[in-house]
Structure 1
Amino acid sequence: MKKKVSVSQLEPGMYVSDFNNGWNEDARSGKDPNGLPQQMMLKSDADVRRVLADSTIREVYIDTERGRDVEGAKSQAEIEAELAAQMMELGEEGNAVKLPNPDVKKQPMEQELEHAHEVKQKARRLVGDMLDDVRLGKTITVGPVKELMKDMVESMFSNKDAMLSLSMIKAKDEYTFMHSVNVGVFLVAFAQSMEMTPEELVAVGVGAMLHDIGKMKTPQEVLNKPGKLDDEEFLQMKMHVVHSEKILAAAPGISELSVQIAGRHHERWDGSGYPRQLKGHAIGQMGQMSAIVDVYDAITSDRCYHKGNSPHQALKRMMEWSKFHFNPDLFQKFVQCVGIYPMGTLVRLHNGYLGVVLETNTESLLHPVVRVLIDSKAKKKLKPVTLNLIERKADKNWAVEGVEDARKWGVDPKKHMPKPELFQ
């Protein structure tokens, strides 16, 4: 049986099956040249000290069938059940996200997709060009990014799901700059749900789009290394935050809000982050929000060294980590922003049907719009049909009962998302 324990409870003879530190996109690094393995038998006090030396690891999972037990520790199944219950509670109607501007009529997703796709493509090209400029030692100008962000904010107010749906389209070989674009999209949506002004949203978007620009100062062999980083390489990787902050601070017309996002997106609520080990509210609200968004996009992306989590699974894992690494209140607000069942999640309905979530309903996060594809009881594919579950909320047969592994059912969620007309 797998159980979760505090690192303070670790003793020789225990088998660590999961170090529970996937929140860190640089978790492939370690405190020694070989780093910590994914699993480990603690054979001695020295092994225990080796785990304790990593201040980012607070709780781990042990396998009691392969090593010593801890009496009273909760099982992985119990933890999963608790997390599922917490997610459901966040989705209750009393916890719905307020519309950022109730006077602005929300446009249908299909209608806004064309505009959102155009903005996203501009962002892709612009960020790519700016990263190349920094690599070549040129000074950046933020004017074009500000203009782009005005368009993005406008699209978000029309229908944020249109822009968020396009953020599912990711390629491993484009991670460095598409991660920047996606963090911009998600952080603007998050800030919008916090009722920030359009001017503030533009500043947020600029900082988010350029938050990793300092990585162009990181040696490419370190940035793209598929294996574990040694101590020196990890230090080089962490320096990208300092570089990003300096590059943006030197750009004429930049907002302090934008610089703060670049400099603090790797700080952590418990003080275990970098580069300044800021703790709690000392990080600042935008630093805390950008940390959440940065990790969410990173762990839902396929990388050369790991397969991305599904959106719902990522949120559950991050909820587990939030008591240490993220502001718990802000994380809950982020979940309510992207949805309990984010777009692209394969959900199982009470009647046994499986469907991909296409849109969230802010007034009831537990009743998204889904594309029904499979009858899991009969184990057969269905003629795809789109249903708004909020229209069937009185019938429990159409209630979401859980989440399925899309890969297990041979489903690629991206193929079923609404597309702009040019891709129809």
Structure 2
Amino acid sequence: MIGSITTTRNGRKFQINKRHTRKRMDVSELTAGMYIVELDRPWTDSPFLFQGFLLENDEDLLLIKTLCEWVVVEVTEEEWCELDGRGKASLQHRTRYVEKQDMAQQLSAASHTYQSTKLQIKRLLASAQLGQALNLKEAQAAVKDCVERVLNNPNAILWLTRLKHQDEYTAEHSVNVCLLSIALGREMELAPYELENLGICGLMHDIGKMKVPAEILNKPGPLDPQEFAEMARHTVYAKQLLMGRTDIYPGAVDVAYSHHERLDGKGYPRGIDSSKLSLFTRIVTVADAYDAMTSDRCYKSGMSSLDALKVLNNNSGSQFDPELVRRFVAMIGLYPPGYLLEMSNGEVGIILSADPGYQLKPKVIMILGPDKQPQPERIVNLSMEPEDDQGVPYRPQAVFRSGCFGVHVNDYINRGLRIKGFEYAIAAG
């Protein structure tokens, strides 16, 4: 199966054709970071827990070298075609080993970034609620770390935006909008310093809600017109809190004040149209709407990712910027990390990531068998055309939110999902 992407490196434009494959190797050639998919003997004759594992360290290398003469590893073959603008192209062939170790490391690091950023926004929200001065220095440092994580591995950090707790909605929503905005800004090829400014805008966009009475903010039902008018004033409160500060990106004031405006001028608080909406405001508006729609609240259950993307698309051009919606939909994809994926054979897994060119064939952590009962956890890479125990190729059937089939993604992460080659634990927030 071939995937193709276009990229620019050092001012040179390349088309990269990718193919996942397997390679037999003598054990003397192995190094840490390689992913073993087959041994020269039955798996039952080995001490390894999973049929497929990562060589993590020298201890693993010594064990496999003692046990086997050869193994089969998973690799990605790349064909780099340089485009010179005149229709001519030169080919280069590269082989690299699948970066499962990088994904595991990045997700572990991303989890710490997420929790640290949530802690900072909690402190800021508390300060705003109590009328205290806002200390933005540590929040800005956290956002800078968020940018680094998104640039290193957007799958890892976006995975964490699925981890939601209803009683921490405002804090987690702020972090999620920050991360989703940075990720969308990355798709727009913004510079790192621009992504940092954008991240601050996303993190601070709802700070004004801390001035809204708690009985309105947490009301378990629809707001009446008077209550909605007060809720809408959170944009004005945010402007008042942030205006005049010299220690924050000035555009954050505009985004906090304007993120409920619409392109057609029917938004609030001012009813301004597209001619007065900045790029950062438009980006945060899309990220804000998507995360709000996919979140559970005390008065409603969140939408599925697909339904939320449909709402964005249906309101493209009137409420949301069409180009940003197009980029956002492509970024999130049909199989967003952190959602549940049911296979055609009835097995269920948690979507881990999707590589460029393989958005329809993601990596999945399989957790439930066809009978919807827990099974030994393992990673399945759908781009490798894997088969189930009956020899039938895995095929995606439907995507579900956390909570379906009795599976709560938070529970798996909080207890520390441990898979050979993909081990991490997220500390309690």
Using structure 1 for the length normalisation, give the TM-score: 0.69
Are the structure 2 counterparts of residues 97 and 116 from structure 1 closer, same or farther at C-alpha, using a change threshold of 3 Å? farther
2:164–2:410: 8 Å Cα contact kept in structure 1? no
The number of equivalent residue pairs is: 330
Go from structure 1 to structure 2 and tell me whether the alpha carbon gap of 1:402 and 1:256 turns closer, same or farther (over 3 Å shift).
same
- Aligned counterpart in structure 1 of residue 405 of structure 2, from 402, 409, 417: 409
Q: Distance in 2 between matches of 1:406 and 1:143?
A: 34
Contact 1:265-1:290 at 8 Å conserved across structures: yes
1:321 and 2:315 matched: yes
Separation of aligned partners in 2, 1:346 and 1:385: 14
User: Is there any run of 5+ residues in structure 1 with no aligned partner, and where?
Assistant: 1-91
The question of 1:188 aligning with 2:182 is answered yes
Per the alignment, do residues 404 and 294 of structure 1 end up closer, same or farther by CA in structure 2, a change over 3 Å counting? closer
Aligned residue number for residue 424 of structure 2: 420
| Offset of residue 214 of structure 1 | 0.8
Alpha-carbon spacing, 1:100–1:390, altered in 2? closer, same or farther (3 Å):
farther
Percent of residue pairs bearing the same amino acid type: 33
Q: Tell me how far 1:351 sits from its aligned partner.
A: 5.0
- Paired with 1:165 and 1:312, the residues of 2 have a C-alpha distance of 16
- For 1:100 and 1:319, locate their aligned partners in 2 and report how far apart those are by CA, in whole Å: 32
| 1:206 aligned onto 2:208 | no
Q: Report what 1:108 is aligned to.
A: 102
C-alpha distance after superposition, 1:118-175 (max 9, x if no partner): 2222212211111121222223243222222111212222212222222222211111
- Residue 303 of structure 1 corresponds to which residue in structure 2? 297
Query: In the alignment, which residue of structure 2 is the partner of 1:259?
Result: 253
The equivalent residue for 1:386 is 379
Contact in 1 for aligned 2:201/2:280 (Cα 8 Å): no
Q: Where do 1:276-295 residues align within 5 Å?
A: 276-295=270-289
User: Could you list the per-position Cα deviations for residues 160-209 of structure 1 after superposition, in whole angstroms to 9, with x for gaps in the alignment?
Assistant: 22222222222111112221111111111111221111111111111111
Partners of 1:97 and 1:314 in 2: how far apart? 28
2:360 corresponds in structure 1 to 366
Listed as ranges, the gaps of 5+ residues in structure 2 are 13-97, 418-422
Cα separation, partners in 2 of 1:405 and 1:290, compared to 1, 3 Å: closer
2:141 aligns with: 147
Matched residues in 2 for 1:133 and 1:382: separation? 46
Counterpart of 2:394 (choices 394, 398, 404) is 398
Q: Where does residue 86 of structure 2 map in the other structure? A: none
For residue 93 of structure 1, report the CA deviation from its aligned partner.
Answer: 6.0
1:308 partner SS: coil
Q: Sort the Cα spacing of 1:133 and 1:337 in 2 relative to 1 into closer, same or farther, 3 A.
A: same
* Shift in alpha-carbon separation, 1:271–1:250, aligned structure 2, 3 A: same
> Do the aligned residues in 2 keep the contact of 1:97 with 1:193 (CA within 8 Å)?
no
SS at 2:153 equivalent: helix
User: In 1, Cα distance between the equivalents of 2:276 and 2:7?
Assistant: 27
The structure 2 residue matched to 1:331, chosen from 304, 325, 336, is: 325
Distance 1:99 1:398 in 2: 34
SS for the counterpart of 1:325 is: coil
- In structure 2, C-alpha distance between the alignment counterparts of 1:302 and 1:366, rounded to whole Å: 27
Match runs of 1:2-13 below 5 Å: none
Cα distance 1:200–1:332, how it changes in 2: closer, same or farther (>3 A)? same
User: SS at the partner of 1:221?
Assistant: helix
Is residue 350–residue 396 contact of structure 1 (8 Å, CA) maintained in 2?
Answer: no
Q: 1:293: Cα distance to partner?
A: 0.6
Change beyond 3 A, Cα 1:422–1:337: closer
Pick aligned residue for 1:343 from 317, 337, 344? 337
Correspondence 1:248 to 2:242: yes
The structure with the largest alpha-carbon Rg is 2
Check 1:414–1:391 CA distance in 2 against 1; reply closer, same or farther (3 A cut): farther
Determine the C-alpha separation between the residues in 1 that align with 2:263 and 2:3. 28
Cα gap change, 1:155 to 1:279, in 2 (>3 Å): same
Secondary structure of 1:324's aligned partner: coil
What's the counterpart of residue 218 of structure 1? 212
Structure 1's 154 and 209: CA in aligned 2 closer, same or farther, altered over 3 A? same
Residues 200/174 of structure 1: CA separation in 2 closer, same or farther (3 Å cut): same
Shift in CA distance, 102/221, structure 1 to aligned 2, threshold 3 Å: farther
Q: Which residue identity is paired with 1:152?
A: C
Cα separation, 1, equivalents of 2:124 and 2:221: 28
Q: What is the CA-CA distance between 1:406 and the residue it aligns to?
A: 5.9
Q: Deviations over 1:270-295 (max 9, x none)?
A: 32211122233532221111111101
Partner of 2:336, secondary structure, is coil
Q: Once the two structures are superposed, what CA deviation does each residue of 1:338-372 show, in whole Å capped at 9, x if it has no partner?
A: 23211122234455543321112223211111123
Runs of 4 or more, structure 1, over 6 Å off, are 96-103, 393-396
Alignment of 1:69-80 (within 5 A): none
Query: Larger helix proportion, structure 1 or 2?
Result: 1
Higher relative contact order (CA 8 A, sep 6+): 1
Match of 1:75 in 2: none
- The answer (yes or no) to whether the contact 2:262–2:272 under 8 Å persists in 1 is yes
Q: Shift of the alpha carbon at 1:323?
A: 4.7
Give the number of the structure whose residues are more often strand, by fraction.
2
Give, in angstroms, the shift of residue 266 of structure 1. Answer: 1.0
The 5 Å alignment of 1:29-178 reads 108-178=102-172
CA distance in structure 2 between the partners assigned to 1:275 and 1:166 by the alignment: 32
Question: Match of 1:295, SS?
Answer: helix
Structure 1 residues 364 and 279, CA gap change in structure 2 (3 angstroms): farther
Distance in 1 of aligned mates of 2:223 and 2:357: 45
Deviations 1:248-271 (A, max 9, x none): 222213223322321221112332
Residue identity in the other structure for 1:235:
A
Give the CA deviation at 1:315.
Answer: 2.1
Q: Which amino acid aligns with 2:195?
A: L
Stretch moving more, 190-199 or 409-418: 409-418
